[in-house]
Amino acid sequence: MIRISVAKGDGIGPEIMDAVLQLFEAAKVPLKYDFIEMGKTYFLQGYNSGMTPSAKESIENNCILFKGPMETPKGKGMKSINVTARKTWSTYANRRHFLSLKGVDTVHSKAGIPIDITIVRENIEDTYGGVEHMNSNDVAVCRRFITRKGSEQVHRFAFEMARKEGFKKVSCGHKANIMKLTDGLFLETFYEVAAEYPEIEANDIIVDDLCMKLVAMPQRFEVVVLPNLQGDIVSDLCAGLVGGLGFAPSSNIGDNICIFEAVHGTAPDIAGKNIANPTSLLLSGIMMLRHLGLGEKAAEIENALLYTLEQGVHTGDFGDRSIPASNTTEFTQAIIQNLGKKPEQSEARVAGSETQTWNKPALPLVRPMMVSPRSEGEKLVGCDLMIDSEKKPEEIADIIERLLPDPFRLLNISNRGTQVWPTGSILTECVNHHGCRIMLHNKDSEVSSQEIWAMIRTISNELFVTSMEMLRNFGEKQGYSLAQGQ
């Protein structure tokens, strides 16, 4: 028996979790459950992470968390419990499988276009770091983190999954045409990892073009890997292709802890009415069984679900309206009665290679550091200063140039990323947040961080410096972007 941690969740969570566990019991799935305290109730009791210490201990002991939908209290400054869980336990790859299901009508199913797409979303970094600052009364700034090692983790997961499950193509969605350093690093790392999997076709596509093609011709895609925020958006787009989040299973995979969850909302308006659709959580549970090496049980339950849907059994949120809707209990019982049956209108699931034994990982004794080898020839060549001021760019330039010591020079000033000094357009509207790029006169030389900070102290005597970034070159690579129009 494998012991896992189970959090029923908020709203409809307890109802749909009970339905899924009832199905597992009927199918004699060899699992034992630690029911843990996690969700909105525990936020309100004063647990800032949304879980009790005993819940955290249970998850770290069992290494598997199966959770229902959860709500984070709004307007209280609390971080999302779902994002916190994924980041705390470094579940770096979010996998969602979007498959056309018989009995779930969509525009594409009516057009005879089958959908079978796996989205792999980086799960830790990007803007989901949630590191934001007010740099002036009018300007909010968010830091975006993309790391080489984090990108390597999610890309390797995507290619390993493709190799194991027989996918022929992996696509990288990105916006590297605009975010040349962050998405550029994500894309660069994608092709570095892809080179280790020559049997799998690797290609990339700009994310807006990806969205258009997913809607117009989804059959072109098999596996798509994306950064966190873009992956979140594209995942929901794909859910819409197959009938909604109620049919979108989700797993969060890490080297130590894995989380399987329903990603739809808590639906408090129907909580306790016994009408919720448990399909998404059930499909997530089936993904969990496969991860645990229980491929035969996963296939048996999924085949029963597919057969049940083919028979027209449905809850009130989908299905043939000429057939009376089943409540949660009736829908669950129908699947239980169909255990052992296989779908007739679609391909039956088989256990495949997922019957291998799952071994609980040995947790590290110290917090791991993920670091790549340093580049030769790293050089500090200047800094960007963010100035909170309502002065015109020309006035700011006059002040900085008067104060700058050798060997520095003011290269340019940008506003919201667009150059406004020494050249620019009078039509470029400005806010009170100026990016001032200060470089060395000799582009081949370098400077110390102490010299940078001494220069900043001089400037801050007359201008309010809200933040700064060191400008560095890494060998032949420039470690900073240019302003629009520079």
Please check whether residue 15 is in contact with residue 271, taking contact to mean a CB–CB distance below 8 angstroms: yes
User: Residue 82's pLDDT band (boundaries 50, 70, 90)?
Assistant: confident
Checking if the pLDDT of 378 tops 70, the result is: yes
Write down the mean pLDDT value for the chain: 94
* 279/314 Cα distance (integer angstroms): 10
- Domain assignment of residue 42, yes or no: yes
At 209, give phi and psi (nearest 5°): -65, -35
**Both structure tokens of 289:** 């069984």
The pLDDT > 70 percentage for the chain reads: 98
Checking if the pLDDT of 355 tops 80, the result is: no
DSSP H helices in 13-122:
13-26, 40-44, 53-62, 81-88, 107-110
**Both structure tokens of 483:** 């302003």
pTM, rounded to two decimals: 0.93
pLDDT value at residue 485: 78
Domains contained in the chain, number: 3
Examine the domain organization and report whether 391 and 455 are in the same domain: yes
Examine the domain organization and report whether 236 and 258 are in the same domain: no
**Both structure tokens of 10:** 């908020």
At 290 the three-state DSSP class reads: helix
Closest CA to 124 of 227, 19, 261, 48: 227
- Domain assignment of residue 439, yes or no: yes
Tell me: the pLDDT tens digits for 7-61?
999 999 999 999 999 999 999 999 999 999 998 888 888 888 889 999 999 999 9
- Domain assignment of residue 289, yes or no: no
Checking if the pLDDT of 139 tops 70, the result is: yes
Checking if the pLDDT of 354 tops 80, the result is: no
Examine the domain organization and report whether 231 and 154 are in the same domain: yes
Angle of helix 228-242 relative to helix 207-216, nearest 10 degrees?
Answer: 10
Domain of 144, in residue numbers: 105-242
pLDDT value at residue 353: 64
Tell me: the pLDDT tens digits for 192-218?
999 999 999 999 999 999 999 999 999
pLDDT value at residue 375: 75
Examine the domain organization and report whether 145 and 222 are in the same domain: yes
Q: Which of 70-74, 268-272, 359-363, 426-430 has the lowest mean pLDDT?
A: 70-74
Examine the domain organization and report whether 117 and 236 are in the same domain: yes
pLDDT value at residue 196: 98
- Domain assignment of residue 273, yes or no: yes
Examine the domain organization and report whether 395 and 472 are in the same domain: yes
Examine the domain organization and report whether 276 and 236 are in the same domain: no
Q: Which of 118-122, 128-132, 408-412 has the lowest mean pLDDT?
A: 128-132
pLDDT value at residue 77: 63
* 322/196 Cα distance (integer angstroms): 52
- Domain assignment of residue 112, yes or no: yes
Examine the domain organization and report whether 342 and 408 are in the same domain: no
Pick 46 or 102 by higher pLDDT: 102
User: Residue 63's pLDDT band (boundaries 50, 70, 90)?
Assistant: very high
- Domain assignment of residue 100, yes or no: no
Examine the domain organization and report whether 155 and 204 are in the same domain: yes
* 387/459 Cα distance (integer angstroms): 10
pLDDT value at residue 268: 94
- Measured between alpha carbons, how far is residue 19 from residues 274, 277, 374, 409, 473 in Å? 10, 10, 52, 67, 56
**In the predicted model, what is the mean pLDDT of residues 302-326?**
94
What CATH number does the domain containing 474 carry? 3.30.70.1570
pLDDT value at residue 76: 61
What CATH number does the domain containing 332 carry? 3.40.718.10
- Domain assignment of residue 458, yes or no: yes
**In the predicted model, what is the mean pLDDT of residues 264-289?**
96
* 277/288 Cα distance (integer angstroms): 19
Examine the domain organization and report whether 413 and 383 are in the same domain: yes
Tell me: the pLDDT tens digits for 416-449?
999 999 999 999 999 999 999 999 988 788 999 9
At 7 the three-state DSSP class reads: strand
pLDDT value at residue 75: 61
Examine the domain organization and report whether 261 and 209 are in the same domain: no
Examine the domain organization and report whether 224 and 135 are in the same domain: yes
The pLDDT > 90 percentage for the chain reads: 81
- Domain assignment of residue 265, yes or no: yes
Checking if the pLDDT of 249 tops 90, the result is: yes
Q: Which residue has the tokens 């020839």?
A: 377
